[in-house]
Amino acid sequence: MTRFFTNGFYAEAPGGVIRLSDADSTHVRSLRLRPEERFVVCDGNGRDYVCRLADKDKTSGSSGTSGSSGSSGSSSSSSSSVLAEILESRPTSGEPSIECTVYIALAKGDRLDYAVQKSVELGARDIVLFKSERCIALPSDAAKKTARLQKIALEAAKQCGRGRVPGVTMAESFGEAIQQAARAALPLFFFENEEELSLRKALDTGCDISSVSIVTGPEGGFEEHEAKLAGSSGMLSVTLGPRVLRCETAPVAALAAIMYHTGNM
């Protein structure tokens, strides 16, 4: 079923009515949904509402609840919004049982697009971008970069049935990213020069993996002093095996392995 997100919507169901945002209303119209067709509106907090197009005659006096990109502007804007009648409320099945945040070094081209999209599909809780010493491409406008990647995360969350939209943020520095990542129960620093501790061994130690950090490097890999900083901050240096993975492949491979190990795939 087609999926939409709202901005923290709460309502009694069935029988409630949701007013979709202008953007989602336009999307609904483009889909040419029939009155009997079902679609899902998610509150972004792990709950789904199975809906159908509401009968305008019965809901003309309802103020409804706006969606994530909606506006509380003019009445003409509200009148053009699509109303969704709630038929069923249920927990979202697409959220994993662990919190896994992915820290990705800035990369050139569309590599970040791929890494963000696939990380969302695989169940990342949040995604943090950071600058490493060997990063080749640095955005001239970090806010614009993260905003675009956040849209990619939103569309990926809709497509794969997530119960929340992972946030995409930019750490101010490598050190800040490492400090954040080290707070996880299992903080993993993927270093191409690591030869002893594999990801499998790290996961098989029986340690707490309720929350996991995945830190992967840029095209040129990490500098030795960056790896030392990660180690002194409490992160585990691990390897993804004998093959050198591309910067957009490494976070996806690590996340998939962790989700499989924890029964989330």
Residue 264: how many CB atoms within 10 A of its CB?
Answer: 16
Burial of 67 (0-12, 13-18, 19+ CB in 10 A): buried
- Note down pLDDT in tens along the chain; length 265 residues: 888 887 645 555 667 888 888 888 888 888 888 888 899 988 888 888 998 888 764 444 444 444 544 444 444 444 577 888 889 888 888 899 999 999 999 998 899 999 999 999 999 999 999 999 999 878 888 899 999 999 999 999 999 989 899 999 999 999 999 999 999 999 999 999 999 999 999 999 878 899 999 999 999 899 999 999 999 999 999 999 999 999 999 999 999 999 999 999 8
pLDDT score of 75: 44
Q: Cβ contacts of residue 2 below 8 Å, gap of 6+?
A: 28, 31, 33, 39, 40
Cis peptide leading into residue 91 (ω within 30°): no
pLDDT score of 58: 47
CATH of domain 99-261: 3.40.1280.10
pLDDT score of 33: 83
pLDDT score of 20: 83
Nearest-angstrom CA–CA distance, 253 and 109: 20
> What is the residue extent of each domain of the chain?
3-91, 99-261
Q: In this structure, what is the dihedral angle of CA atoms 115, 119, 125, 127, given to the nearest 10 degrees?
A: 0
145-151 CB contacts, 8 Å cutoff, 24+ apart: 145/170, 146/170, 149/112, 149/113, 149/116
Residue carrying the six token digits 């087609």: 2
pTM of the full predicted structure? Answer: 0.82
Q: Say if CB 51 and CB 39 are below 8 A apart.
A: yes
CA distances from 16 to 24, 54, 182, 232 (A): 18, 10, 43, 53
DSSP-assigned letter for residue 82: P
CA distances from 148 to 80, 104, 135, 155, 169 (A): 27, 16, 20, 11, 11
Partners of 19 in beta bridges: 83
Nearest-angstrom CA–CA distance, 259 and 238: 17
Question: Which of helix, strand or coil describes residue 5?
Answer: strand
Task: Count H helices and E strands in the chain, helices first.
Answer: 9, 11
pLDDT score of 169: 97
The yes/no answer on whether domain 3-91 falls in CATH 2.60.40.10 is: no
